[in-house]
Amino acid sequence: MILIICILVIQNSKIVHVLSHSEYPASSFAFAEHSNSQMLVADNTFIALMNKLKTLRAFEIRLSKMEARGTRLEYQDFVINLGTVNQTQTTKGLILEVNYTKK
């Protein structure tokens, strides 16, 4: 089972995406829109830090989280992740990830 959680945080009209991925349980990923594709990779304490900053009013709005849940399949040299994307209780779409892993 694959689980990806994305939390959107808005500060001064800038959107920050904070992601956690079940295949990387000790890591958190964050990137801001219009940041030239730069991504921050940190350990899971980063999410706790974001929560503390929220209590200090450093971040104005915290939107509801989005989750992608699904299964991981392996076929020959390919890893296929297939799942549904949900926001609160509403299904927003499907996600399909295909990786070629040369063995």
Question: Any idea how long the chain is?
Answer: 103
Q: Which two tokens stand for residue 86?
A: 């949900």
Q: Tell me the pLDDT tens digit for each residue of 39-91.
A: 788 887 777 777 676 655 555 555 677 888 899 999 999 999 999 988 888 89
User: What's the mean pLDDT in 12-35?
Assistant: 80
Predicted model pTM: 0.61
CA atoms within 13 A of residue 38's CA, in its CB half-sphere: 4
Taking a C-beta distance cutoff of 8 angstroms, is the pair 18, 9 a contact? yes
Beta bridge partners of 46: none
Q: Who's near 34: CB < 8 A, 6+ residues apart?
A: 14
Rounded to an integer, what distance in angstroms lies between the CA atom of residue 34 and that of residue 89? Answer: 29
Domains of the chain: residue spans and CATH: 2-100 (2.40.320.10)
